[in-house]
Amino acid sequence: MYYISDKDSRPEGSAHPYAHLWDNNSNAANELNRIIEIRRIALNNMGLNSIPPDYPVSNMEDVLVPIYLLHRYQTEAASKLLGGLLYTYSYKGDGQVITEIVPAETQRMALQAILKTIQPEFLQIPENLLELLPPRAVGSTNSNENFRKKTGLTFDPLAAAESAAELSIRLLLNPQRASRMIEYKSRNQDFPGINDVLSELIKNSWKNNIEDPYLAEINRTVSKLVLTKMMFLAEDQLTAGQVRAITLSSIFDLENWIKKAYTTEKDSAQKAHLLYGLELIRRYKENPELFKTGIAFPLPAGSPIGNDLLNCEF
């Protein structure tokens, strides 16, 4: 049994592979893969039978949100395997492990599991469910446990996908995690580096070749997020200098790739997306310190789980 304090467990950039507030299983990456499959089955089975009789159909979103975001806490747990460090509050001579970097294979397994959560097929909401999400009925209002929207009164599946993807990308590009990865890889080349994370993110967003229009639109949403988060990481003053250097190099490499892709792209929507990416990079180059762009809406409220916890008197 390990004891790790709350302050060591809460931060998104914390390092201990077993210290999380909400997770399951002895291996966070394996459990994330299991949760992803459970979530897929649950979403496919949702419908009118998922709400009680005489219940507003517009409130279907209240049931959808916790299923759509079923992976959120396990994703955070899995992210701590990347650049992770097993440690104990050991005393001299007590025989405990003092420090041990998470094995390279385990780190790479966690990266691949998290990348599944930014795939358009994962982020899409089934068409039959979208048809059951009208604007809120009279007497029913949205709360902080619902998704925010860019579409006015109507449900916004792209904003929901953007919010969910932002969590995974933010966790992968956490400045403290990225800085540890630089250090650990310098000590042992077998460990994945931040360059591996950036390469995989770009491959699974900008370089995704998707024909389905709905999935392609989700992928464009994710791609813009990836680029934006890379820019934020490259300008984070509290990040290791080599993290910023590698991230900046990746941005410029992506710019060159976009330029080539733009010249051959035939689809007008994708062409506009590529042009916008180039424009974002141009603005970033001109004024990196003050660079700002659209940020995804925050996820609906989750932790602490259970309203009763908030109403207890001690």
Residue 269's pLDDT band, with cuts at 50, 70 and 90, is very high
Residue 120's pLDDT band, with cuts at 50, 70 and 90, is very high
Q: What one-letter code names the amino acid at 122?
A: F
Paired tokens of 309? 């916890």
Paired strand residues for 99: 87
Which pLDDT belongs to residue 305? Answer: 55
Give the chain's mean pLDDT: 91
pTM value > 0.75: yes
pLDDT surpasses 50 at 313: no
At 34 the three-state DSSP class reads helix
% of the chain surpassing 70 pLDDT: 94
Which pLDDT belongs to residue 237? Answer: 87
61, 147 Cβ separation under 8 angstroms? yes
Paired tokens of 35? 């949760």
Only one residue has tokens 């001579």, namely 93
Between CA 296 and CA 308 the distance in angstroms is 30
List b or e across 179-192, with b for residues whose CB sees 16 or more CB atoms inside 10 angstroms: bbbbebbeeeeebb
154, 72 Cβ separation under 8 angstroms? no
Maximum average pLDDT range among 255-259, 286-290, 305-309: 255-259
Q: How much is the CA Rg of the chain, to the nearest whole Å?
A: 21
What is the per-residue pLDDT across 163-195, written as a single tens digit (0 to 9) for each?
999 999 999 999 999 999 999 999 999 999 999
14, 102 Cβ separation under 8 angstroms? no
pLDDT surpasses 90 at 117: yes
Q: If you average pLDDT over residues 249-257, what whole number do you get?
A: 98
pLDDT surpasses 70 at 292: no
Range of weakest confidence among 147-156, 170-179, 221-230 = 147-156
